[in-house]
Structure 1
């Protein structure tokens, strides 16, 4: 039986390394944004009410980076 010429050849898998690099760069960007936010507190005496916003800023640094990488990751996986 002859092969069907309409059938496309199997897609070659893209290297997983590219996906990891995109995510790592975005997480790094989020961490840098996080450090910039923390620098805003330098020279300011922290009051008890300032500790919670600062802790939230520190905790959200990697989340911002991963959120920035999500659209790129989804587009990369879909292509």
Structure 2
């Protein structure tokens, strides 16, 4: 079930959004929905990273290369 929300944005953001709707052939809702989805994914990643970095460091994993060697 979909819900409707109303937001206010500065004129410059509305103009950029409207420009993007024309360029991408999407409506405002589609663009804002995708932007929110990406925001939530990033927030979840940051939350998980905050939990996992200390655990990785305890295991001696400090760099991307350390991760690569562990999973290869």
Query: Considering the TM-score relative to the shorter chain, is it more than 0.5?
Result: no
TMscore range, shorter length: 0.3 to 0.5
Higher relative contact order (CA 8 A, sep 6+): 1
Q: Given the two structures, how large is their TM-score scaled by the length of structure 1? A: 0.36
Larger CA Rg, structure 1 vs 2? 1
